[in-house]
Chain A
Amino acid sequence: MQAVTREEALELYEDMILGRNFEDMCAQMYYRGKMFGFVHLYNGQEAVSTGFIKQLNQPDCVVSTYRDHVHALSKGVPARAVMAELFGKATGCCRGQGGSMHMFSEPHNLLGGFAFIGEGIPVATGAAFAAKYRHEVLKQSSPDGLDVTLAFFGDGTCNNGQFFECLNMAQLWKLPIIFVVENNLWAIGMSHLRSTSDPEIWKKGPAFGMPGVHVDGMDVLKVREVAKEAIDRARRGEGPTLVECETYRFRGHSLADPDELRRPDEKSHYAARDPITSLKKYIIEQNLASEAELKNIEKKIDDVVEEAVEFADASPLPPRSQLLENVFADPKGFGIGPDGKYRCEDPKFTQGTAQV
């Protein structure tokens, strides 16, 4: 394992505990009828989110998939904003309009939250293109180098066209993007090995001219080391990297998945490699902190997650008048009504129907 300072180790630990506890609370809340629809939990994959995202600065962008709660938390979106969004409340980070699969936060440069696999990758490629454009066309430079974009997606996505199209374009234009594959071996009930002719995803990087790296995604320090190198490369303008993280989700694909296809020995193999347990062990063995300090962090996070639930519970549902807001950035897009006025100028406009 790579050397890490005490402060860094505690930051990593706290972030992973937050991710784990938050997702466990989501499961509870879902079964209590506070959360609805399709909810995809991240338990077991925390090392990837923490290992990568904690290396980023505020201007760097993260693009995720439907398994996005923990990416949002690692990027700094407050737990209460994510929880309220999941409860469908007006105080959610997306005003209750997005839900579990559409977490966005402009101040944190979290560009989604996408329900269809692969559809976030071009968006991430665009964010990286914009970073290069700002530098080369608008002549806006930072001493840190180019702003970096991370695109997270899974093994299933690596058989999808958008993945390949974006690997090509990112390398062609040397965009500051890192393609982070969270290979948890399963796409709902489809095993990676059954759907992929060559299952070694990292190899697809060099096929497009970029480095392809495989890393143990259950080890946050190893992920962090690989992430740092890829991020530095991107900042220097040397282009994209494809990183395949071998990881595992401890729960089913979603809370609706009975998870009957995965074998118990596979599950226990990865449970034994729980990234949080491993880091805790490392911290204790390297004398970076005491058990008591780690327990304090766990208690602190318990409080954060409890508070998030209380906040979400107490928050109001969106009013009917919110229905048509945000459909357009410029509400003139709803057009001109029979009376000659723009519909958005009519005070009764947002009170009524969805038909415009």
Chain B
Amino acid sequence: MVSVSSITRCHEVLMFEALREAMIEEMTLDPTVCMIGEDVGDYGGSYKVSKGLSEMFGDLRVLDTPIAENSFTGMGIGAAMKGLRPVVEGMNMGFLLLAYNQISNNCGMLPYTSGGQFKIPIVIRGPGGVGRQLGAEHSQRLESYFQSIPGIQMVACSTPYNAKGLLKAAIRSDNPVVLFEHVLLYNLKEKIPDEEYICCLEEAEMVRPGSQLTILTYSRMRYHVMQAVKTLVNKGYDPEVIDIRSLKPFDLHTIGNSIKKTHRVLIVEECMRTGGIGASLRSAIIDNFWDELDARPVCLSSQDVPTPYAATLEDATVVQPAQIVAAVEEICQ
């Protein structure tokens, strides 16, 4: 469990400030780290992640681009091949659908097709997920679509602590890493250490140790899960909650240890039922831990619908705490 000791000096930050701190620290440490994206410079980023950075580092290191996702992502890839370490921001992750050609063919595959001659130490980050009535196109879960691309790593942050730690780790990684932030989590507040720290890209995070069943989740759904857990604990249940954090590859060690203890699994995700991270995770669990399971692994996902604008319909597309409670009760019968 991530706990910050009372002896460690800390400061309170909002999620977007934590990401900003990561950017400033890494750009200060390594002059090849740069930012590329729409409105990252003068505007300071749509979600204020790069506020003030272009004044600090100049407008070549914090590059405001025209609206051309495929080309500026490809530009980041070419720059990475030639020694820079770009952080490409998708103003909304959904916009990176435009960059799919580059992310799949070049980011993912080029180290391989070049026979290992080139590395692509790029970070692609931005907000995704279902927000508050943002409409279907601004509410997408790109992790579903990108997960099959060989050669990339994908991580999802969920707290200011892991956001800063994962972004720093992603920047330092020689692999292309896609960091999924969530539109609704940027104002989360948390105390984080003053001292420098990094999170491991490949590790999951134990949120609540328990004995009765394993709940696997990530990003915003972590909070729906924890809300459900309050109710469940009151009813006498003892769930173990793990934030998987690493969407590709899965941390099968942390996940496996948990399943060996509890023998029951519930996955709670925001991806749509078809082809999401949950679908892959359930498959991996069946392959690796079949003998440990006492019940069918259950996956709660969003509905296979474009996210509607109307609030009541939007609420119905994503998994709500009441559904999580009901699912746990059923699995634990």
Contacts and interface: CB of A to CB of B under 8 A. Distances in A.
Contacts of B115: 92-98, 104, 326
Given A112-B114, A336-B203, A342-B202, A123 B106 contact: yes
Interface in A322-351: 325-330, 332-340, 342-343
B49 interface: no
B74 A114 contact: no
A172 interface: yes
Nearest to B260: A338
Interface residues of A, number: 63
A109 to B, nearest CB: 8
Contacts of B203: 336
A94 B84 contact: no
A95 B38 CA distance: 38
A130 B120 CA distance: 13
Interface stretch (B10-18, B75-83, B124-132, B261-269): B75-83
B252 A335 contact: yes
A329 B110 contact: no
B288 interface: yes
A75 B70 CA distance: 27
Interface string B243-268: 00010111111101000000000000
A133 B79 contact: yes
B197 to A, nearest CB: 18
A343 B252 CA distance: 10
A121 B68 contact: no
B111 to A, nearest CB: 6
Nearest to A175: B75
A148 interface: no
B175 A94 contact: no
A153 to B, nearest CB: 13
B105 interface: yes
Interface stretch (A14-22, A159-167, A229-237): A159-167
A333 B153 contact: yes
B34 interface: yes
Given A130-B78, A329-B175, A336-B251, A136 B120 contact: no
A181 to B, nearest CB: 17
Interface string A131-174: 11110111000000000000000000000011001101100100
B173 A330 contact: yes
A116 B249 contact: no
B13 to A, nearest CB: 28
Contacts of A106: 114, 117-118
Contacts of A211: none
A124 interface: yes
Interface in B64-106: 65-66, 68, 70-84, 101-102, 105-106
B60 A168 contact: no
Given A162-B70, A333-B249, A98 B114 contact: yes
B285 to A, nearest CB: 10
A126 B79 contact: yes
A125 interface: yes
A40 interface: no
A305 B41 CA distance: 52
A307 B77 CA distance: 35
B276 interface: no
A129 B75 contact: yes
A308 interface: no
A95 B114 CA distance: 8
Nearest to B201: A332
A129 B81 CA distance: 11
A76 interface: no
B111 A327 contact: yes
A333 B72 CA distance: 24
Nearest to B249: A335
Contacts of B254: 336
Interface string B37-76: 0000000000000000000001011000110101111111
Contacts of A337: 252-253
Nearest to B253: A340
Nearest to B255: A338
Nearest to B152: A333
A5 to B, nearest CB: 32
A138 B117 contact: no
Given A102-B113, A106-B118, A338-B252, A127 B66 contact: no
23 contacts: A97-B113, A98-B113, A99-B113, A115-B105, A119-B106, A122-B74, A126-B74, A126-B82, A129-B84, A138-B31, A161-B70, A161-B71, A168-B66, A168-B68, A169-B68, A326-B114, A328-B151, A329-B116, A335-B248, A336-B249, A336-B252, A337-B252, A342-B202
Given A105-B117, A106-B118, A165-B70, 15 more contacts: A113-B114, A119-B102, A125-B71, A129-B78, A130-B79, A137-B58, A165-B71, A169-B75, A328-B151, A329-B120, A329-B121, A329-B175, A335-B248, A336-B203, A339-B253
